[in-house]
């Protein structure tokens, strides 16, 4: 069998031939991330122009089969911990460690109706396998559904298992969020959702910096820094701001117009963010 090479540029959800579970070499985690894809129908309540999901549609996650998820995750963890996963996927010795289990995939994971039950199941399986608490438990989210009791219950479970919320904030202005994320989201609603998330589970902001129709102009940078200042003023506990740019090709119609932001520009913005009192990471 020819090994399948994992890389930070390949986030194939079908890499392991499973419905819900897939392996990723993550830039931000710095090693093997086990992804959990609730949105197997390629549906999301947002439409980000840099999204790498082909055939993306508006909608929510479909019904999830907890028995299939349990079977897949137990079997996959056994292959990683006791089998030949690393050899088959050409993973270097230095990266042969599970850094995290991430709720991510092909849409907004918190749109899953039985989100809390799925989070509890994953936590129980990973804990029994000895993956938790050494590895992190991460939710990658646009943060739009934090008001739902089911989501809040899931965040509480995350917090009990070394969990983190990676909360998407791609712009400091309503107009640019409409352009980049395809949603109308007020500052008040964004701040309220962020406050809910951070009060329940340690939370980091993740910002995808992409050049598109004059985004990340001086005005846009000022709006972004003003939003971060408002987060500070509201005493919302954000553990870190994570800046990154394009690493893989977008499957959205805007793809030909998108350009990655240079590391130099990200470093410059990071200095301004640090001046506001935030920790910052850069993944280009």
Pairing between β-strand 57-58 and β-strand 43-44 as defined by DSSP bridges = parallel
Q: What was the pLDDT predicted at 94?
A: 82
Q: What was the pLDDT predicted at 21?
A: 97
Is residue 242 within 8 A of residue 207, CB to CB? The reply is: yes
7, part of any domain: no
12, part of any domain: no
Q: What was the pLDDT predicted at 40?
A: 96
**Residue 119: domain span:** 21-283
14, part of any domain: no
CATH classification of the domain holding 133: 3.20.20.70
Q: What was the pLDDT predicted at 1?
A: 39
42, part of any domain: yes
d(CA 136, CA 164): 7
Q: Residue 24: in which H helix or E strand, if any?
A: strand 21-26
Domain count, the chain: 1
15, part of any domain: no
169, part of any domain: yes
pTM exceeds 0.75, yes or no: yes
Buried b (16+ CB within 10 A) or exposed e, 231-253: beeeebebebbbbbbbbeebebe
Q: What is the pLDDT along the chain (284 residues), one digit of tens a residue?
A: 344 665 545 444 555 689 999 998 865 556 799 999 999 999 999 999 999 999 999 999 999 999 999 999 999 999 999 999 999 888 888 888 999 999 998 999 999 999 999 999 999 999 999 999 999 999 999 999 999 999 999 999 999 999 999 999 999 999 999 999 999 999 999 999 999 999 999 999 999 999 999 899 999 999 999 999 999 999 999 999 999 998 788 899 988 989 999 999 999 999 999 999 999 999 86
263, part of any domain: yes
198, part of any domain: yes
Of all residues in the chain, the percent with pLDDT exceeding 70 is: 92
């Amino acid at each position: 069998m020819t090994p399948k090479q994992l890389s930070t540029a390949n986030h194939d959800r079908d890499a392991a031939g499973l419905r819900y579970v897939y392996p990723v070499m993550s830039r931000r985690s710095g090693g093997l991330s086990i992804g959990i894809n609730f949105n197997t129908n390629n549906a999301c309540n947002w439409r980000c122009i840099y999204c790498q999901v082909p055939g993306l549609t508006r909608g929510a996650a479909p019904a999830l089969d907890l028995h299939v998820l349990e079977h897949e995750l137990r079997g996959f963890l056994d292959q990683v911990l006791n089998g030949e996963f690393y050899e088959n996927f050409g993973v270097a010795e230095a990266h042969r460690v599970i850094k995290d289990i991430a709720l991510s995939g092909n849409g907004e994971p918190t749109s899953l109706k039985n989100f809390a039950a799925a989070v509890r199941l994953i936590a129980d399986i990973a804990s029994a396998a000895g993956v938790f608490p050494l590895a992190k438990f991460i939710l990658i989210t646009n943060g739009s559904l934090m008001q739902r009791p089911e989501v809040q219950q899931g965040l509480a479970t995350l917090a009990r298992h070394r969990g983190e919320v990676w909360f998407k904030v791609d712009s400091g202005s309503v107009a640019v969020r409409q352009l980049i994320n395809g949603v109308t989201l007020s500052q008040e609603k964004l701040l309220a959702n962020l406050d809910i998330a951070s009060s329940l589970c340690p939370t980091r902001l993740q910002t995808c910096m992409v050049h598109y129709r004059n985004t990340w102009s001086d005005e846009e940078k000022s709006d972004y820094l003003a939003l971060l200042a408002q987060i500070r003023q509201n005493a919302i506990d954000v553990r870190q701001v994570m800046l990154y740019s394009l690493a893989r090709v977008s499957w959205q119609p805007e793809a030909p117009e998108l350009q990655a932001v240079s590391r130099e520009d990200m470093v410059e913005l990071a200095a301004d963010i640090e001046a506001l009192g935030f920790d910052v990471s850069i993944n280009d």
